[in-house]
Amino acid sequence: MKKLLCAAVIAAASAAPSFAAPAANTGPDGVPTIANASPDGARGVGAPAPTRHGGPAGLNSALTPEEEARAFLSAYSASYQGVYAVSQDVSWAASTDVTPEHDGGRIAANKALAAVTGSRYVIETARRLLARKAELSPLTARQLEKVWLDAAENPATIPDVVAKRVEAESRQSSVMDSFQFCLEKKPEGACAKPVTANEMDDILVSSRDLSLRLKTWNASKEIGPALKPGLARLQGLRNAAAREFGYSSYYDLQAADLGMNTKELAELLDGFINDIQPLYEQLHCWTKYELAKRYNQPVPKLIPAHWIGNRWAQEWPGIVDGVDLNPLFKDRKPEWIIRQAEDFWVSMGFAKLPEAFWKKSDLYPVPSDGKRNKNTHASAWHIDLDQDVRSLMSVEPDAQWWGTAHHELGHIFYFQAYARPQVPVLLRRGGNRAWHEGIAELGALAAMQAPYLEKRGVLPEGRKIDQNRWLLNEALEQTIAFMPWAAGTVSAWERDLYDGDLPPEKWNARWWELAAKYQGIAPPPAAGGERPAPSGTASPGSPRGEEYCDGCTKTHVNDNPAYYYNYALATVMKYQLHTHICRNILKVDPHACTYYGSRAVGDFLRGLMSAGATRDWRELWKEKLGEDLSTKPMMDYFGPLLDYLKKENKGRSCGWR
């Protein structure tokens, strides 16, 4: 296997020399004209360097800018797709079978990809052609803009930085993929009781033993110190790459995918949080009283993190009585859950998944006595930007994996929708990164609708649903509790990390400041018992010093950085899409709506998905939905819940600030 991977990397990398910098890459005095350049002058130096003859450097005067751009994009796309496919295939091997050999292959493959995307010739050509954007077709210009943003990730103008970053990111992934969580240790420090991520999640959702919950929560954070040194290196390396292109930070570069800068994105996210704040405060209030009663503790002001049924308190499952769906899945097989998720999308007119998907995907947990380690985070992979699609999951028969399977296959069907000749290879991606998550999350939302659960035989037919409790559970497990985490805590922390150059010795303190500000969450007490504060005062928890890195424990922070705000946008998107589908296409109440079997819904979704990134996302959104992106449909959906919670919380001490 190792020899095959190395051979593939070498073969793919052989395409890269066609993008070695030609002489035209320099100005008349041989000085490189790339560093700190931008395509349009908006960030850094934007004007093309003149040649001795007064024209833009390297332009073939026999071709129009459009003709030259198409020729360049044709050659670049072929090389990019080939090397990208190898890089993905090798990364897949490294994620599904963690070994030093596979990790080495991932480093080599990613260096080959970086050599293509970030070469001096690619940077200079894209910059020069985009300087004449007015003479290019919209489709050509969009491809060049993607080339530019991809180049900014790995600019060959700073090769040492790029090489170090590729190696550091691969090592960071290897640490995550191979880490052994441990619930109990022997006196000498060896692990006496290993525990998996799924097992920790199960304990935090179901156990009412606070000492076990605390032990489990602490075990989940042990990976933080192991990841902190690597993330500290990556902070500087990622920022160096982005700043080489004139962006203020790596966070600013990622915001450019939305057509925004750091400040504009922060304002958008703060707007989301302000919109949901009245409902979130009522939800937080109800939850802290409910959990204090459950654990026989005084009501705190800030909720201790280990009281919540999620390692990061990003979702709050297992709190609402009477809506636990897990028992409905206990006699099902994991394979059944995946097949039902496929059937959901197929029923709307999408083609069945290719047989290769089932052969190549890694969908189930590795047995406890297994001979390999794999990444435990669910993900979808578009290996070759064509027909090779795969998913990495660890499906078990429960409600969480039911929703996750519908989500991940949403990504897969999105891949297939735009993997067609009419969509150029470079634009085979979501309308923006949030769109991919929005479509996937729409699948997860639809999977939990009562009419769909009845149709699939999960929910007994005729079983009465308490709409208030059902909405409450949805707000806690999927939406309202999630928004302050996604738009607030993790996004603000990464913004401080990159745009604010936050030093590592302040990382953990800042993490918990933000968790308190946005989520009303505090760190747990030290081992040895609960020490909650009296009702109406702040829960002191236990100081989490800088020897920890609790923010580092989130997978995305390490291997998909400055990304999590896309989930916040996706959450807003899914409710707007859901409301449009239910009210305008199916003509039913959004609270009792199933898309299953509706070709009209499938046609609507394909109209969004099949475009890939060929259209401006704002324009396409408004064209298909008739309105701009808005939180209003989400807040209208949860309107009945706000009224319910106000009655439930009457006379209680709410708020935490």
The whole-angstrom separation of Cα 109 and Cα 89 is 9
Q: Is the pLDDT of residue 8 over 60?
A: no
Range of weakest confidence among 32-46, 257-271, 425-439, 598-612 = 32-46
Range of weakest confidence among 67-76, 338-347, 526-535 = 526-535
Judge: domain 326-465+565-638, CATH 3.30.420.40.
Answer: no
Instruction: Specify the pLDDT at position 266.
Output: 97
Q: Which residues pair with 6 in a beta bridge?
A: none
Instruction: Specify the pLDDT at position 648.
Output: 97
* Local confidence band at 185 (pLDDT 50, 70, 90 cut-offs): very high
Give the mean model confidence (pLDDT) for residues 632-639: 97
- The answer to whether residues 486 and 571 touch, using CB atoms and an 8 Å cutoff, is yes
Quote helix, strand, coil % in the chain, to nearest 5.
Answer: 60, 5, 40
Decide: helix, strand or coil at residue 165.
helix
Q: Is the pLDDT of residue 329 over 90?
A: yes
Instruction: Specify the pLDDT at position 396.
Output: 94
Single out the residue of 389, 376, 241, 398 nearest to residue 317, CA to CA: 398
Q: Is the pLDDT of residue 189 over 50?
A: yes
Q: Kindly list the distances between the CA atom of residue 453 and the CA atoms of 172, 347, 594, 619, in Å, as whole numbers in the listed order.
A: 39, 15, 9, 34
Give the mean model confidence (pLDDT) for residues 507-528: 91
**pLDDT tens, position by position, 119-145:** 999 999 999 999 999 999 999 999 999
**pLDDT tens, position by position, 339-385:** 999 999 999 999 999 999 999 999 999 987 778 989 888 999 999 99
Q: Which residues pair with 304 in a beta bridge?
A: 522
Range of weakest confidence among 254-258, 282-286, 490-494 = 254-258
Q: Is the pLDDT of residue 557 over 60?
A: yes
**pLDDT tens, position by position, 382-407:** 999 999 999 999 999 999 899 999 99
The whole-angstrom separation of Cα 495 and Cα 501 is 9
* Local confidence band at 50 (pLDDT 50, 70, 90 cut-offs): very low
Higher pLDDT, 467 or 237: 237
The mean pLDDT of the chain is 89
Q: Please report, rounded to a whole number, the percentage of residues in the chain having pLDDT higher than 90.
A: 81
* Local confidence band at 19 (pLDDT 50, 70, 90 cut-offs): low
Torsion, CA 553, CA 557, CA 559, CA 565, rounded to 10: 140
The whole-angstrom separation of Cα 492 and Cα 484 is 10
* Local confidence band at 526 (pLDDT 50, 70, 90 cut-offs): confident
The whole-angstrom separation of Cα 62 and Cα 370 is 62
The whole-angstrom separation of Cα 356 and Cα 203 is 35
- β-pairing, 389-392 with 191-194? unpaired
Give the mean model confidence (pLDDT) for residues 541-562: 90
Instruction: Specify the pLDDT at position 370.
Output: 77
Give the mean model confidence (pLDDT) for residues 428-446: 95
Q: Write down the domain spans for the chain.
A: 2-172, 203-323+481-559, 326-465+565-638
Give the mean model confidence (pLDDT) for residues 246-251: 97
Single out the residue of 112, 109, 78 nearest to residue 91, CA to CA: 109
Instruction: Specify the pLDDT at position 376.
Output: 81
- DSSP letter at 532 equals P
Q: Is the pLDDT of residue 22 over 60?
A: no
Give the mean model confidence (pLDDT) for residues 199-208: 95
Q: Which residues pair with 311 in a beta bridge?
A: none
Instruction: Specify the pLDDT at position 322.
Output: 83
Single out the residue of 5, 175, 178, 171 nearest to residue 88, CA to CA: 5
The tokens for 60 are 């073939």
Instruction: Specify the pLDDT at position 35.
Output: 35
Q: Is the pLDDT of residue 165 over 50?
A: yes
Instruction: Specify the pLDDT at position 404.
Output: 96
Which residue is associated with the tokens 């200079």? 124
Q: What angle is formed at CA 636 by the lines to CA 632 and CA 637, rounded to 5 degrees?
A: 120
Instruction: Specify the pLDDT at position 339.
Output: 98
Instruction: Specify the pLDDT at position 51.
Output: 31
Instruction: Specify the pLDDT at position 267.
Output: 97
Instruction: Specify the pLDDT at position 465.
Output: 82
**pLDDT tens, position by position, 608-624:** 999 999 999 999 999 99
Q: Is the pLDDT of residue 222 over 70?
A: yes
- The pTM of the full predicted model, rounded to 2 decimals, is 0.87
* Local confidence band at 324 (pLDDT 50, 70, 90 cut-offs): confident
Q: How many other β-carbons are positioned within 10 Å of the β-carbon of residue 339? A: 15
* Local confidence band at 527 (pLDDT 50, 70, 90 cut-offs): low
Which residue is associated with the tokens 């833009």? 56
Higher pLDDT, 26 or 71: 71
**pLDDT tens, position by position, 472-501:** 999 999 999 999 999 999 999 999 999 999
Q: Please report, rounded to a whole number, the percentage of residues in the chain having pLDDT higher than 70.
A: 88
Q: Is the pLDDT of residue 40 over 70?
A: no
**pLDDT tens, position by position, 87-107:** 999 999 999 998 999 989 998
